[in-house]
Amino acid sequence: MAIERTFLMVKPDGVARGLVGDIISRFERKGLTLEQVRMVTIDEELARRHYAEHVDKGFFPELLSFITSGPAVAMAWSGESAVAVGRTLMGPTDPAVAPPGTIRGDYGTVVTQNLVHGSDSSDSATRELAIFFP
């Protein structure tokens, strides 16, 4: 396995609920290394760049409203298989089917406000890291 980098964001609902510390702790306990972190309030332009693949989808207006609704915490992580490890720790997008022990399984209730975003591939990690940590 190779050391890789990934992007993770605690979305506005996770920040508002005070879950940032717990989410960071889960990634650290798993063995990933936090390289960079910043709190950011995402504006429409940044949201459109980050979620470029979703701009033309019917759910984008709701996503845009949510992701720009308050501060988020953007993070760069590294470690062995960091992308896959991150996806496993987050759990499936829908909290109703996310298993206990995952971030979404333990804390999520609504699919449209699911606490965290994480890169789904090395390519998207590279793209997302460049957007939030130029």
Tokens of 41: 């309030």
Q: Are 82 and 19 in contact (CB under 8 A)?
A: no
Average pLDDT, the chain: 96
Q: Residue 4 contacts by C-beta under 8 Å, 6 or more apart in sequence?
A: 78, 79, 80, 81, 82, 83, 122, 125
Domain tally, the chain: 1
Between the alpha carbon of residue 134 and those of residues 126, 129, 130, the distances in Å are 11, 7, 5
Q: What is the mean pLDDT of residues 23-49?
A: 97
The residue range of the domain holding 59 is 3-132
117 has catalytic annotation: yes
The one catalytic residue among 117, 125, 129, 132: 117
The CATH number of the domain holding residue 104 is: 3.30.70.141
Tokens of 58: 């019917």
For residue range 73-101, list pLDDT tens digits in order.
999 999 999 999 999 999 999 999 999 99
For residue range 14-34, list pLDDT tens digits in order.
999 999 999 999 999 999 999
